[in-house]
Structure 1
Amino acid sequence: MASAPAARTARPQEGTPVGLALVRDAEVLGAEPFFHEFIAGMERVLVPLGVPVLLQVVATVRQAGERMRAWARYGQVQGMILIDLLPGDERVALVKELGMPAVVIGDPETAGGLPAVWTQDDVAMRDVVAGLVGAGHTHLGHVGGPAQMAHTIIRRRTFEAVAAEHGVRTTVFDGDYSEAAGVRAIAALAASAERPTALVFDNDVMALGALHEAGRRGLAVPADLALVAWDDSALCQLAVPPLSAVGHDVQELGELVGNALAQALAEGAPAAGGRVVKAAPARLVARGAL
């Protein structure tokens, strides 16, 4: 076990990075704008403090834990960012074991008492479903991200609960944030006798894959099928037709995380009862008819 870091001053240590071990397929990450904007927002806060962000892309949670242990063992980072956590995620216990300041991006219930920045995905999904029902849809689909992730579980649970409140049908598809997942969802939908008339995607890349496949199959968007992406990136705005999206300021989210992390670094080792910062929930941005 790594020894706990020495008592800290009121500022982060200049020149020593904070680490983000991101469990992602490297090809999918390269196509996804979210993390480019998110890291840019964090750096807007941390770089003036002399704290760079060290990003390591790994394939599994186990590899993420191994990387985090190595960073702590060799003093390569002074704090860590945890994102895309699973329920009961081992990485929360690990940063406590390592005595490493950390901030969780996600539901405070997954944070285990660590400081957390929460985007209120349940509030956003409720807004999306209500908007689609208000537009006249009676059968909705959801194409989720990796099913084991806590925020995917929250979005799916809220999607189904709010749809049930409104008395509308639902069909769900599992995805992995890739363009191919959006293509697969449209292929599955096209084979169904009673298909949803609106699909909500957990990121923009899957929605774009669906848009292209819908066009290939002769489905007009949004006349035949409404598509809603999560995270209103430039990809959504420049698509033809432009995609409706669940929009929020991702760089602002990064700034909130950067500020929370700067405070955690100044305070030192993690402690129970961490602060929770609620980011403004994302809102449905409709482009044309839903």
Structure 2
Amino acid sequence: MVAAWTGTETRPRTGTPVGLALVRDAEVLGAEPFFHEFIAGMERVLVPLGVPVLLQVVATIQQASDRMRAWAAQGQVQGMILIDLLPGDERVALVGELGMPTVVIGDPVTAGGLSAVWTQDEVAMRDVVAALVAGGHTHLGHVAGPAEMAHTIIRRRTFHAVASEHGVRTTTFDGDYSEAAGVRAVTALAGIDDRPTALVFDNDVMALGALHEARRLGLGVPSDLSLVAWDDSALCQLAEPPLSAVSHDVQALGELVGDAVAEVLAGVTPCMITAAPATLVVRGSSI
């Protein structure tokens, strides 16, 4: 719920946006459904308040910081949204220096005292690993997102810890959320003795790339290789076979972030909001 305004709080400035400087390869972003749905959810809350979302896609963290400084200096935004942060990320300190109301999509440690919305990725990863072990897999692979990101570290750490608890082997593949990263992971399996029989991906686009490459190499999915995507989307549901996925309502997550943004713009004390964890939806790509 968005907090009701009182006489001591600041109303959002109608027509002035909140800024999101997103560090992403433009080509990857174009293929990834997550941010389209996420921003749609935020706008469902913020646009009726007269607060649009200003998205700027940049290549590096330094470019993101430079853009944030320019926005603040020119009065172009009245608040900011931070996502895909690194541990000790410079952007957390920067918004404090700029005096800019900000919401982080990430874990509370990375948020550094700012308002944050956390999706409990560690809970979801624990459930996925347990389900794959219950399905009889004894060697699991994780195709991760960019290794430096805090949520990638959390997912990877949980993946290895839970697999160790169950006494199963693990192999990690570096990825960048692109379809090509999924292709590379499946191609790499040929060089691994006693290869993983199940792969967990940090997004749906990489999982689709893996599915296409498995088909090209003559690997049966799921008879030879089980695949599990993250951030369930129509892409997963329309694949053949349909991809099992760690699923959550991305637009609902965007609405939750929109509520948090409205609150910080109203001067509400920063808080931690815990979103419901994603849940595993089993489809035809895994056993």
Shorter-chain TM-score range: over 0.9
SS class of match (1:175) = coil
- Seen in structure 2, the aligned counterparts of structure 1 residues 147 and 27 have a Cα distance that, compared at 3 Å, is same
SS class of match (1:259) = helix
2:45 corresponds to which residue?
45
Q: 2:280 aligns with which of 273, 276, 284?
A: 284
1:4 corresponds to which residue?
none
Supply the distance in 1 between the matched residues of 2:159 and 2:228 (Cα, whole angstroms).
Answer: 13
Is 2:271 the partner of 1:275? yes
Is 2:36 the partner of 1:36? yes
1:250 corresponds to which residue?
250
Does the CA contact (< 8 Å) of 1:104 and 1:111 recur in 2? yes
Instruction: Kindly provide the amino acid, as one letter, of the partner of residue 120 in structure 2.
Output: Q
Is 2:104 the partner of 1:104? yes
Show structure 1 runs of 4+ deviating over 4 A.
none
TM-score, normalised relative to structure 1: 0.95
TM-score, normalised relative to structure 2: 0.96
Deviations 1:52-89 (A, max 9, x none): 00000000000000000000000000000000000000
Q: CA deviation at 1:191?
A: 2.1
Does the CA contact (< 8 Å) of 1:8 and 1:266 recur in 2? no
Is 2:152 the partner of 1:156? no
Moved more, 220-229 or 280-289: 280-289
Is 2:27 the partner of 1:27? yes
Supply the distance in 2 between the matched residues of 1:190 and 1:249 (Cα, whole angstroms).
Answer: 35
Which aligned pairs between 1:178-197 and structure 2 lie closer than 5 A? 178-197=178-197
Supply the distance in 2 between the matched residues of 1:199 and 1:182 (Cα, whole angstroms).
Answer: 10
Does the CA contact (< 8 Å) of 1:78 and 1:101 recur in 2? yes
Supply the distance in 2 between the matched residues of 1:10 and 1:100 (Cα, whole angstroms).
Answer: 13
Instruction: Kindly provide the amino acid, as one letter, of the partner of residue 63 in structure 2.
Output: Q
Supply the distance in 2 between the matched residues of 1:190 and 1:250 (Cα, whole angstroms).
Answer: 35
Which aligned pairs between 1:38-77 and structure 2 lie closer than 5 A? 38-77=38-77
Instruction: Kindly provide the amino acid, as one letter, of the partner of residue 28 in structure 1.
Output: V
Give ranges in structure 2 of 5+ residues lacking alignment: 1-6
Supply the distance in 1 between the matched residues of 2:8 and 2:250 (Cα, whole angstroms).
Answer: 30
Supply the distance in 2 between the matched residues of 1:257 and 1:143 (Cα, whole angstroms).
Answer: 27
Alignment root-mean-square deviation, CA = 1.2
Is 2:202 the partner of 1:202? yes
Q: CA deviation at 1:192?
A: 1.6
Deviations 1:150-198 (A, max 9, x none): 0000000000000000000000000000000000000101222211000
Give ranges in structure 1 of 5+ residues lacking alignment: 1-6
2:3 corresponds to which residue?
none
Supply the distance in 2 between the matched residues of 1:153 and 1:29 (Cα, whole angstroms).
Answer: 21
Supply the distance in 2 between the matched residues of 1:237 and 1:10 (Cα, whole angstroms).
Answer: 43
Q: CA deviation at 1:281?
A: 0.2
SS class of match (1:267) = coil
SS class of match (2:266) = helix
Supply the distance in 2 between the matched residues of 1:130 and 1:190 (Cα, whole angstroms).
Answer: 26
Supply the distance in 1 between the matched residues of 2:46 and 2:126 (Cα, whole angstroms).
Answer: 33
Instruction: Kindly provide the amino acid, as one letter, of the partner of residue 174 in structure 1.
Output: D
Q: CA deviation at 1:234?
A: 0.3
2:95 corresponds to which residue?
95
Supply the distance in 2 between the matched residues of 1:100 and 1:10 (Cα, whole angstroms).
Answer: 13
Q: CA deviation at 1:249?
A: 0.5
2:4 corresponds to which residue?
none
- Seen in structure 2, the aligned counterparts of structure 1 residues 25 and 8 have a Cα distance that, compared at 3 Å, is farther
Supply the distance in 2 between the matched residues of 1:266 and 1:19 (Cα, whole angstroms).
Answer: 16
Does the CA contact (< 8 Å) of 1:86 and 1:150 recur in 2? yes
Instruction: Kindly provide the amino acid, as one letter, of the partner of residue 211 in structure 2.
Output: L
Deviations 1:27-68 (A, max 9, x none): 000000000000000000000000000000000000000000
